[in-house]
Structure 1
């Protein structure tokens, strides 16, 4: 015996699953009005839709954050378009992911996706969102930074760049200033000691190749000093302490920290879509192809 498909039943299913009204109505009709079976059908259909869209490039999105007195979590959540990224439901998914990361400190993204928010795992919530939004959506990466002796600060720039700085010593104002500097200047490493040897070796080879003509005919010791000077310049450009402080370029971040008897224990910077190769779409060609019979 089937149950009448009323507007209130459709709304109840929508409130429970987050699926669209039309999808809820179709699911209820398919199972004779049984709301439990309809919810299960929507879950399965949502997973199928999510799997189909999984190969599509998702390079837009937000950096979501969650914080406590002792730590800050950053999570990058991606989708396909800026329009979806600006939606409240997408932002809510990011906030949920960040809160779970902060609370449980999972080791991997897979472990994060397996965590539950209420009765559903984060992966199930992601798949439901994909089915609703019609776009590939991923929880790409996350970082949890713990307090380390000094102040800890976070800085978000338009929800597309997220930074956390944990000082080994220093106050909240300084931590905030350093976080803003990291957002603007994008250092790759804390200091020269943190730069991997293979990174330095690769850059040294590039410098040697570029300087070959300039070095011709010069004494070996002079050439060596010239090359080392360029390597030091490279290291200053990619390390936090070596960069000119963005609010006062006349001093480096290292000098700023020393003047405050402060230090940086760790920093993290995440930018939306960083490292993702975006597919170039010719919309005019797509429209022309779609109109041809």
Structure 2
């Protein structure tokens, strides 16, 4: 057998499909998790790919802005209890402030940076693990900046100021009124938190991801039994729809549910008093892409599916 009960559990969490459907998909794929996900989606048994980023780890995302530069940092812990710990929150806050001064988004370099009060970020993290008694990891960081304009931070489900489960930064380039830019940035940040764009525009979407979408669409089209030229159009349409729905600038703005974000930004020039460009953004959701062990549930799955 090329997979385990935990693999079945993980596939269920990623797709929302039934246990036996997940077991069959893993049987057919020889235990290949990604192939099983694609198979379930092609058969209409799985939810959208966005479910694969369900939160599966605890900790906090911190955001910080200074001038026209902003940074988001994710630090993971084993339990939500630790995420509420003052010592842990202080570490995430100060590490995010240190990250603001970094010259790149290199996490290893950040670990080696000087920490306020002495030692390095890594030294402090190691001490926290020893004193709090739970494993913690500095996972990732991303910086955005503009030459002239604003970088607007937003935290959803805030545990403390600038700390929470979803951290967003919006970088708006403009010579116009900064207060108006801030207001626009806050609305865009809330949209990003809710709509989960995968890239700024369609050209920035991951090529491998688009290839997978094309293969899935082709499998669905083939099942329709329609002529080859019709199937080709169906595939092109499905890929174009995926790109439109997952690129930030082409997404429909959640505030009015009708206007593309690109048009919202362009129209803002009137209030701002100058052209506005959405240059970049960050959206960190706590634990996305990390699988957390749940041994009791895995045992339950094993018993029900007859796995050893």
TM-score by length of 1: 0.72
Q: How far 1:267 sits from its partner (Å)?
A: 0.6
Q: Aligned pair in 2 of structure 1 residues 258, 282: CA closer, same or farther (>3 Å)?
A: same
Number of positions where the alignment pairs a residue of Structure 1 with one of Structure 2: 225
Q: Which has the higher contact order (CA 8 A, sep 6+)?
A: 2
SS of equivalent residue, structure 1 residue 244: coil
CA contact (8 A) 2:222 2:231 kept: no
CA contact (8 A) 2:68 2:149 kept: no
The runs of 4+ residues in structure 1 deviating greater than 6 Å are none
Q: What residue ranges of structure 2 are gaps of 5+ in the alignment?
A: 1-55, 158-163, 270-275, 300-308
Report the Cα distance in structure 1 between the residues aligned to 2:228 and 2:222, rounded to whole angstroms: 13
Q: In structure 2, which of residues 68, 71, 74 is the aligned counterpart of residue 73 of structure 1?
A: 71
Q: Which residue number corresponds to residue 263 of structure 1? A: 277
Q: How far 1:201 sits from its partner (Å)?
A: 2.0
Q: How far 1:245 sits from its partner (Å)?
A: 0.6
SS of equivalent residue, structure 1 residue 104: coil
Task: Answer yes or no: is 1:139 the counterpart of 2:148.
Answer: no
Q: Which residue number corresponds to residue 169 of structure 2? A: 164
Counting only pairs closer than 5 Å after superposition, residues 55-94 of structure 1 correspond to structure 2 as 59-94=57-92
SS of equivalent residue, structure 2 residue 197: coil
Task: Answer yes or no: is 1:276 the counterpart of 2:290.
Answer: yes
CA contact (8 A) 1:148 1:166 kept: no
SS of equivalent residue, structure 1 residue 245: coil
Q: Which moved more, 1:196-205 or 1:95-104?
A: 196-205
Q: How far 1:139 sits from its partner (Å)?
A: 0.9
Q: How far 1:193 sits from its partner (Å)?
A: 1.3
Q: Aligned pair in 2 of structure 1 residues 207, 148: CA closer, same or farther (>3 Å)?
A: farther
Q: What residue ranges of structure 1 are gaps of 5+ in the alignment?
A: 1-57, 286-293
Q: Which residue number corresponds to residue 209 of structure 2? A: 199
SS of equivalent residue, structure 2 residue 191: helix
TM-score by length of 2: 0.68
Report the Cα distance in structure 1 between the residues aligned to 2:202 and 2:113, rounded to whole angstroms: 37
